[in-house]
Amino acid sequence: MQQSAVPELAHTQTRPIHWVATATAVAGVVALSSVVQPGSATAATGAQPRTAHVAVAPPGTTGVDFPLNCGPLKAVVAKQASGDLDGDGRPETVAVVHCDSSMGTPPDGVYVVTRPSDGGTPRVVATLVSPRDRVTVTDFSLRARAVGATLLGYSTDSVPNCCPDLKTPVKWEWNGSAFLRSAPDAAHSV
């Protein structure tokens, strides 16, 4: 008979209690792994993902030549909002602009400003409201790729500029070639 170099140890023989203890330990590890999750991984090489999304800043209004004749006065951007109106992944800025008048209520113009894809100077690409329309813009917003506003205007030329008598809620949406204007409700007196 051959003798082993390692003495026979009592714990090297399996018994049913060993299998129960092992099964309990494995069940505990599985249960704990479903609760504890690893943190997000980061690449050590600094490689960029293939489809990296780069946020594009909306165009500003500073230096934009608005189609508005203010004479010796300057044009003032009263309100503005930015968003991707045409779905091309680049934001546009919509600006409510009027002449800086110290008296009365000058009419507003509403303009869509974009920046060329080469990063050039922002420019006006659409006029939603012309100052010739003699309206003041209130409740201005940009939501879900649509521009919304309430236009305060005049039923006739004899209505004084101080006291608009029409209130019209409007919305503009890009249809692929132009901004379409819709009025959810008919114009009504103020």
Q: What is the per-residue pLDDT for 35?
A: 54
Flag residues of the chain having pLDDT under 50: 1-11, 40-51
Q: CA-CA distance, 123 to 37, in Å (whole number)?
A: 50
pLDDT in tens, 87-103: 888 999 999 999 998 78
Q: pTM score, two decimals? A: 0.68
Tally of domains in the chain: 1
Q: What is the per-residue pLDDT for 123?
A: 94
Among 150, 128, 129, residue whose Cα is nearest residue 139: 150
The answer to whether residue 42 is domain-embedded is no
What does DSSP say about strands 136-143 and 166-174: parallel, antiparallel, or unpaired? unpaired
The answer to whether residue 151 is domain-embedded is yes
Q: CA-CA distance, 134 to 86, in Å (whole number)?
A: 28
The answer to whether residue 69 is domain-embedded is no
Q: What is the per-residue pLDDT for 26?
A: 65
* Domain of 149, in residue numbers: 75-189
pLDDT in tens, 31-47: 655 555 555 444 444 44
Q: CA-CA distance, 126 to 18, in Å (whole number)?
A: 79
The answer to whether residue 146 is domain-embedded is yes
Q: What is the per-residue pLDDT for 51?
A: 47
The answer to whether residue 40 is domain-embedded is no
The answer to whether residue 12 is domain-embedded is no
The answer to whether residue 4 is domain-embedded is no
Q: What is the per-residue pLDDT for 152?
A: 95
The answer to whether residue 5 is domain-embedded is no
Q: What is the per-residue pLDDT for 149?
A: 96
